[in-house]
Chain A
Amino acid sequence: MQLYNDFFGRFGGRYVAEVLRKPLDELEQSFIAAMSNEGFLSELEYLQKTYIGRPTPLMFAENASNILGGSKIYIKMEGLANTGAHKINNALGQALLAKKMGKSRIIAETGAGQHGVATASVCARLGLDCTVYMGEVDMARQRPNVYLMEMFGAQVVPVSSGSRTLKDAVNEALRDWASSWDTTHYLIGSALGPSPFPDMVREFQSVIGKELVKQIEENVKEDVEALVACVGGGSNSIGFFAPFIEQERPALVGVEAGGRGLGNGEHAARMTGCGVEGIVQGYKSMFLLDSDGQVLPTHSISAGLDYPGIGPQLAHLGETGRVIFTRATDKEALEALRFFARHEGVIFALESAHAGAAAIKLAKEGSPDKAIIVNMSGRGDKDIFITAKIIDGNRWRDFLLSEAGDA
């Protein structure tokens, strides 16, 4: 994989109003220079080890595998990274780069809040000011993460425009950046946006896949037939897949949010039949758009997958067939969450549970001499206010009421 591509097939590019041209040019140069700078790379590696807690383990899900009776399932435990998700890999890389570029302030957008928490945490660690834009809907459903961001000293700005979710938070961050880039870096949270972001985010997330290559060699006896990851914007999947893209195997499987079904506004499945080619938020990719090019509403039980676009490299890999896309519904994700919790003692983030659901299906079709590796991109602590309501409604309600009484 080249470090800097700009376009992937016909997807990608830098479709931005002229005001954002200069900061993107500057970022591109700094990124390319940093990736061959020994000092930068060794500082990054040091922080990955001592601060993120890398490498994250690869766990054999023995009980799950036995129950399903098909291919063996392994779980890459990205959720064990500091702040609970893969998002910190990219947040650390970009924040370190921004610091080298002399920026003193970071802005970010967040959906599930994991990217916001990772960014806020890294800014606290590196001594940078931090502002995080978050849709009001997402703030309500991912409240614990709002609290954490504020604990790290970040300012969380509620976004009330549009659908009040991730895409609107991206718009607000782009607006902020258009006037603040002298001092401010916009730390995009997924492998999308105008170039060089898709390339940069992939490179910082590729640490997941690089570790996996070693861990497969050391720990996996079976033949690895598939790697499975959920796809919001696509940062955990592209980082997980990165070292394997130019090989023919294993199969690379991206799982989108099937939501409640395939009606407009009920899902976020861009690659499995509903998306069209478009140019939105500075890049060309597959989006959920109406026939006039207006962005359609989306739904997912997981805030992190609830986004109408997909990273351009994944769109391209989907089109060439290297990445196979599938989707999991809200319900399937919840079932997978409970299955792995009950049998493996791990709690997937709702986003990652979509990958878990697809892995369960695939494993059932396979045989015990094969392995499927699923990326648990994050752990589910943050989702407790969503999942508890569904799984343990009454007792959770009583608990919340008594807490509120104390407050």
Chain B
Amino acid sequence: MHKKRIMAHMIPYYPSPEASYDVVRGLVDGGAWALEVQFPFSDPTADGPAIQGACTTALENGFTVDKGIDFIKKIRKDYPKLPVFVMSYASIPYRVGIPRFVSIMAELGINGLIIPDLPPDYDEGFYEECITRDLQPVPVVIPDMTEERLSLITDKAGEYIYAALRKGITGQHTELGEDNIGLLSVLKNRGYKTLAGFGIDSPEQVAKLSRHAYAIVAGSVFVRICKENRDDIYGSVKKKVEYLLL
């Protein structure tokens, strides 16, 4: 048996400031290995309707970068051993100032930082800054990329790499086949801990992917759960993680 690890994606302040911490507790108690905390952006172009809508709600609920920082501090305090990754879009770190943003994240002691629209050749010094501050940047790769491009990107990675399992945006179902599994095998052979995600919503996918990736990322599936189960967010999120880990 391969160890099944779920990196659960969540959005602070969604569905509400308080309930989003219930989401954290539900995810952790359900057995998530790590959290991917998305700092919501007004225009999240790589995300599907579920996450995009959740980001809009979170911003309407008063999310700011400062509140996000407090949110992470609380997670770090309550769950000191839980790996935490932060994901956001370029606009936020760029506006805050990349050196400043990276140093704040480094001080929080997070395990990795994912900014999909700062790819290595248009990164505004993001990767350098992470290395200087001893924070792991987590670049994103996709199936079907040229070997040249794959190497360029993996060269910038630390321990972890994020593999999007297909073209397109988050939230649509993903078929597992030669192209995405092939990519995961390549990354595994090169010694990376791959975080594999996009469109994961079933225990079968998690089981299959666990043979090839270090951890499986699931996000939209939890957003949908939050939307459908307003009265018991904690319990339904917890149950969903348990179900995915079956």
Interface residues of A (CB under 8 A from B): 13-19, 21-22, 161-162, 167-168, 171, 174-175, 178-179, 181, 276-282, 284, 287, 289, 291-295
Q: How far is the CB of A127 from chain B (nearest CB, A)?
A: 26
B90 within 8 A of A: yes
Q: What 1/0 mask marks residues of chain B from 1 to 43 whose CB sits below 8 Å from any chain A CB?
A: 0000000000000000000000000000000000000000111
21 contacts between A and B (CB under 8 A): A14-B122, A15-B119, A15-B122, A16-B117, A17-B45, A17-B46, A17-B117, A17-B164, A18-B119, A18-B140, A18-B153, A19-B46, A19-B168, A21-B145, A161-B49, A178-B168, A179-B167, A279-B117, A291-B95, A293-B94, A294-B92
Distance between Cα atoms of A18 and B116 in the complex (Å) = 7
Complex contacts, B44 vs chain A, CB 8 Å: 171
Complex contacts, B41 vs chain A, CB 8 Å: 293-294
* Other-chain contact of A15, B90, B144, B164, B172 (Cβ < 8 Å): B90
Q: How far is the CB of B50 from chain A (nearest CB, A)?
A: 12
Number of A-B contacts (CB under 8 A): 106
Complex contacts, A279 vs chain B, CB 8 Å: 90-91, 94, 117-118, 124
Distance between Cα atoms of A277 and B98 in the complex (Å) = 13
Complex contacts, A282 vs chain B, CB 8 Å: 45, 117
Complex contacts, B116 vs chain A, CB 8 Å: 17-18
B75 within 8 A of A: no
**How would you classify the secondary structure of chain B's contact residues: helix, strand, loop or mixed?**
loop
- CB distance B52 to A161 under 8 Å? yes
* Other-chain contact of B42, A175, A277, A295 (Cβ < 8 Å): A295
Of B41, B117, B164, B172, which is in contact with the most chain A CB atoms at under 10 Å from its CB? B117
Complex contacts, B169 vs chain A, CB 8 Å: 175, 178-179
- CB distance A292 to B65 under 8 Å? yes
- CB distance A292 to B96 under 8 Å? yes
Identify the closest chain A residue to B67 (Cβ): A292
Closest 7 CB pairs of A and B: A179-B168, A293-B95, A293-B91, A17-B116, A279-B90, A293-B92, A295-B42
Complex contacts, B42 vs chain A, CB 8 Å: 162, 294-295
Given A161-B52, A162-B43, A293-B41, 5 more A-B residue pairs with CB atoms under 8 Å apart are A13-B122, A171-B52, A175-B168, A282-B117, A295-B43
Complex contacts, B142 vs chain A, CB 8 Å: 18-19
* Other-chain contact of B167, A16, A19, A280, A293 (Cβ < 8 Å): A19
Q: How far is the CB of B78 from chain A (nearest CB, A)?
A: 25
Among B38-77, those with CB < 8 Å from A are 41-46, 48-49, 52-53, 56, 59, 64-65
- CB distance A15 to B49 under 8 Å? no
Among B118-134, those with CB < 8 Å from A are 118-119, 122, 124
Distance between Cα atoms of A17 and B118 in the complex (Å) = 7
Complex contacts, A17 vs chain B, CB 8 Å: 45-46, 116-117, 119, 140, 164
Distance between Cα atoms of A175 and B119 in the complex (Å) = 18
* Other-chain contact of A19, B90, B94, B164 (Cβ < 8 Å): B164
B141 within 8 A of A: yes
- CB distance B119 to A278 under 8 Å? no
Q: How far is the CB of A103 from chain B (nearest CB, A)?
A: 15
Distance between Cα atoms of A178 and B168 in the complex (Å) = 4
Identify the closest chain B residue to A181 (Cβ): B167
Distance between Cα atoms of A168 and B42 in the complex (Å) = 10
- CB distance B168 to A161 under 8 Å? no
Distance between Cα atoms of A178 and B48 in the complex (Å) = 11
Distance between Cα atoms of A294 and B95 in the complex (Å) = 9
Distance between Cα atoms of A14 and B117 in the complex (Å) = 9
- CB distance A18 to B141 under 8 Å? yes
* Other-chain contact of B119, A21, A171, A284, A292 (Cβ < 8 Å): A21
Among B91-119, those with CB < 8 Å from A are 91-96, 116-119
Contact A21:B52 (CB < 8 A) given known A162-B42, A278-B91, A282-B117:
no
Complex contacts, A167 vs chain B, CB 8 Å: 43
Complex contacts, B117 vs chain A, CB 8 Å: 15-17, 279, 282
- CB distance B43 to A171 under 8 Å? yes
- CB distance A15 to B168 under 8 Å? no
Distance between Cα atoms of A300 and B164 in the complex (Å) = 38
B149 within 8 A of A: yes
- CB distance B45 to A171 under 8 Å? yes
Complex contacts, A179 vs chain B, CB 8 Å: 166-169, 172
Q: How far is the CB of B186 from chain A (nearest CB, A)?
A: 15
Complex contacts, A293 vs chain B, CB 8 Å: 41, 91-96
Contact A278:B94 (CB < 8 A) given known A18-B119, A178-B169:
yes
Of A161, A287, A295, which is in contact with the most chain B CB atoms at under 10 Å from its CB? A161
- CB distance B164 to A18 under 8 Å? yes
Complex contacts, B48 vs chain A, CB 8 Å: 175
- CB distance A294 to B59 under 8 Å? yes
* Other-chain contact of A281, B43, B144, B145 (Cβ < 8 Å): B43
Complex contacts, B141 vs chain A, CB 8 Å: 18
Complex contacts, A294 vs chain B, CB 8 Å: 41-42, 59, 91-92
Identify the closest chain B residue to A293 (Cβ): B95
Complex contacts, B122 vs chain A, CB 8 Å: 13-15
- CB distance A280 to B53 under 8 Å? no
Among B171-224, those with CB < 8 Å from A are 172
Complex contacts, A289 vs chain B, CB 8 Å: 91, 95
Complex contacts, A284 vs chain B, CB 8 Å: 94
Q: How far is the CB of A316 from chain B (nearest CB, A)?
A: 16
Identify the closest chain A residue to B45 (Cβ): A174
Complex contacts, B124 vs chain A, CB 8 Å: 279
- CB distance A22 to B145 under 8 Å? yes
- CB distance A18 to B145 under 8 Å? yes
